[in-house]
Structure formats: structure tokens, C-alpha cells
Chains A and B, each alone.
Chain A
Amino acid sequence: EAGVAQSPRYKIIEKRQSVAFWCNPISGHATLYWYQQILGQGPKLLIQFQNNGVVDDSQLPKDRFSAERLKGVDSTLKIQPAKLEDSAVYLCASSFLGPLPGELFFGEGSRLTVL
């Protein structure tokens, strides 16, 4: 079974530039998450989708971050304009839809460096 795919793995940009990350979840997983993991810290949820609807985006800095999940499958996370503090690993995860918080399957992440 293929895992969660993310690209690019690494990206270096200058502040005020824009960047986009792509995620392809495990086939059949209705729920998709984007997490931000700053070096030395635990992951922090940015946004959660269920199919193509947003469940939770309370911690997404909406003035610069946006995310979409077209057709309930792939998802894109965009940052525009980037700030130095956006340097982090952006993790995508997916899970089955169920009544209980389930096992999340994570991708390897996209590491962003903002100079």
C-alpha cells in the first residue's frame, strides 16, 4: 500500500516569496491534515479536511497561509508571502473517517527554509 506522498521534500526561498506544497493521501482516507513542525518542537495542526471540506483551520495564519483539497483527494498548502518564522517541516497526514480519533499516517514532510 502506498503511503502519504509529499513534494517537494526541500525548498529554500527568500522572505516575501511564495511557496506551495503538495500532498497525496493514502487512497480511501477521507481525512487529511497539514501540520507545521518547527525544529525541536512537536507538530502543530494547521488545517484539517474531511473529504473536501474544512473541519478545523483555527491555527492557520490565514493572512499568509491557504490550503485546498480538490475533489477530496490531493491537497495543496500555500504560503504567500513567507516570513522567516515559517521555516519548518510541513507534514501531511491522512486517516480513515471514523467516530474515534484514529491512527494518522504521515508523509515524510516538506522542509522549508526561509532566508
Chain B
Amino acid sequence: AQKVTQAQTEISVVEKEDVTLDCVYETRDTTYYLFWYKQPPSGELVFLIRRNSFDEQNEISGRYSWNFQKSTSSFNFTITASQVVDSAVYFCALSSDNAGNMLTFGGGTRLMVKP
């Protein structure tokens, strides 16, 4: 069985602060994929990143960075110099070949960035 846990249900920061969103996953599969999605108030989820289980290199894209650590089954997401437009609910998700590529989502973390 697959499981994704986002322990932080809500985080509030002031603009320009850095913030890290935690994600811990469980799977018995050796090949799997991890995702982050952003859900702004409008409701549609927006894809941010996909990583496969064989690539543990950290990735940076502008103010966003991701830290994948297989040893702790974590895939954390950091926003540097947060902005008000970053306010949204962020979901971590997991998919594996043995699950038919079905995405299992975590419960989400609501990020509020105050001006």
C-alpha cells in the first residue's frame, strides 16, 4: 500500500521568508515517482515537479527547490523569499509502476504568505 503524509496542515509566513513543506512517503516498490502540485484558490491543481526514485539529485527552479532523500523517504519542497502569490495548498503525491501509475496524494499543506 502506498501512503503520503504531509504533517504540516497549515503554515503561515511573512513575505520574503523561506519556507519548507515536508513530505514523507511509504511504498514497497523500488521504482516510483514523486510529485508536487499547487492548488491556488481557483481550485485547479498545477503540476510543479516529478522525480523518479533513481534520481536523488536536488533540483532548483527559480525560487523553488526540492530535496529528495530516499534514506528518510522524504521529498521536501522549499520556497525561497516567499511571495503573497505563493499562497495556496500544496500537495505531495506518489505513483509507482505496480500501482498502475495511479497518483496517491497527501493531505496537503496550506501555505499563507502575509505581506
Q: Which residues of A contact B (CB under 8 A)?
A: 3-4, 40-45, 48, 55-56, 89, 91, 93, 100-109
Contacts and interface: CB of A to CB of B under 8 A. Distances in A.
Nearest to A111: B43
B30 to A, nearest CB: 15
Contacts of B42: 108
Contacts of A106: 44-46
Contact of A42 (B43, B52, B105): B105
B106 A109 contact: no
A3 B44 contact: yes
Nearest to B45: A106
B47 interface: yes
Interface of B: 4, 33, 35, 37, 42-47, 50, 52, 91, 93, 95, 100-103, 105-108
A108 B39 CA distance: 10
Nearest to A58: B102
A102 B33 CA distance: 10
A45 B4 CA distance: 14
A84 to B, nearest CB: 21
B49 to A, nearest CB: 9
Nearest to B95: A101
B108 A109 contact: no
A34 B59 CA distance: 30
